[in-house]
Amino acid sequence: MVWMPGGVRTEIHLDAERTHGSLCLLVDEPPVAWSLPAHRHLGESETIHVIEGEFEMNVAGERSLLCPGETVHVPAGVVHGGGNVGTQAGRRLVLFHPAGVERFFREVGAAAPSEPVDVPAVLASAARHGWEFISAGTPDVEVAAEPVIRSARASEIGRVTASPEPPEHAGSRGLHRLPPDLPVPEDDGAAEHLPGTSVPDVRLAATQGEPVDLARAAQGTLVLYVYPRTGGPDVALPTYWDEIPGARGCTPENCAFRDHARELTAAGARVYGLSAQPPGEQRAFAEREAMPYPLLNDHELLLADRLGLPTFEAGGQRLYRRLTLIARRRRIEHVFYPVTDPARYAAEVLEWLQRQSAKP
């Protein structure tokens, strides 16, 4: 549970990890007179169902009053705002599709309602997670949303006009979820030689700080997840990318490891991600997704040569296949390969580490 700006008690019940990136479900309790400025979500649709209280909404220029039991749907990219106009704190069930926006709530939410609001930090986090505020002001209780009209009828809710999601945002934010019916990679034995192999002395450029010496990083416990490449707003993925088994899923994989970073560190591991994509694209991705640890770049495919990591060709590029190495005392102990569910297997890596540490 977190407290959002304006004193909104918020409970996150479902997130990307629990729904394979599909849904974020939360229940919040906006206080009397709370309001949110006009804004839009560039990559998620939002459905609001009122449990208690009265809320006025302005969605795509249509104004309506929501009472208990009533629902409004806001397509991705549609401007909306509103507030609590009742005489008591309200309670709402809010559903976002796809998941991912929960990271914004966890990033800016406070442990207590009395904590001061860092407005620039809130706005910066909102921008990183695809929230675009239209009216002047901040997402705080004292800033009114675009005026909403009390006399609107609840029956008007169902007549909100859906505007199409902007293609440029649909492409980038859609990378956070996996489409159905992707081909599943099979175990071709390409990683069987890795357990027991020494981690080579290779220095790789990192998205944070100085280059990283892999052998030195593996003196303790090293978790190195290797992925083909991430996409982005201005990065076109190779043709037929989704038809290559194991290619799609680098963004949800990175986000899953990011969301488990503290637990992995608590389990004694040092975590790095690694790809062979262009360094500039990797740095932009790390900044956009607020990666808390460095991503390593091996565009020269040094580990393909030194370790025999499996690769594939796509769009004129040679890229790494997805796998994760766990090394201790400079030796590889375990390899996760193939990876069939990139959005969820970070939890499997964590469980493996915890089981190993529990052994006598």
Question: Which CATH number goes with the domain that contains 80?
Answer: 2.60.120.10
**Per-residue model confidence (pLDDT) at position 141:** 28
pLDDT for res 174: 60
Q: What pLDDT does 172 receive?
A: 44
pLDDT of 119: 80
Residue 95 has a pLDDT of 94
Q: In degrees, to the nearest 5, what angle opens at C-alpha 32 toward C-alphas 28 and 34?
A: 70
Question: How confident is the model over 174-189, as pLDDT tens digits?
Answer: 677 788 889 999 999 9
> Are 144 and 208 part of one and the same domain?
no
| 180 in a structural domain | no
CATH number, domain of 289, equals: 3.40.30.10
Q: What pLDDT does residue 246 have?
A: 95
State which residues of the chain have pLDDT below 50: 135-173
Tokens coding 116: 């001061």
Residue 262 lies in a domain: yes
Identify the pLDDT of residue 265: 95
What pTM does this model have?
0.56
Find the domain containing 244 and state its range.
190-358
In a domain, 178, yes or no: no
Within the chain, where are the H helices? 102-108, 119-128, 167-173, 214-217, 250-259, 261-266, 279-288, 302-306, 345-358
Total domains, the chain: 2
CA 138 to chain CA mean position, Å:
23
Residues 230, 90 share a domain: no
**44 and 100 inside one domain:** yes
Q: Among residues 146, 173, 200, which one ends one of the domains?
A: 173
The last residue of one of the domains, among 139, 173, 207, is 173
Q: Does residue 183 lie within any of the structural domains?
A: no
Q: Is residue 305 helix, strand or coil?
A: helix
Reported as a single tens digit per residue, the pLDDT across 83-140 is: 998 888 999 999 999 888 899 999 888 887 777 778 888 888 888 888 887 744 333 3
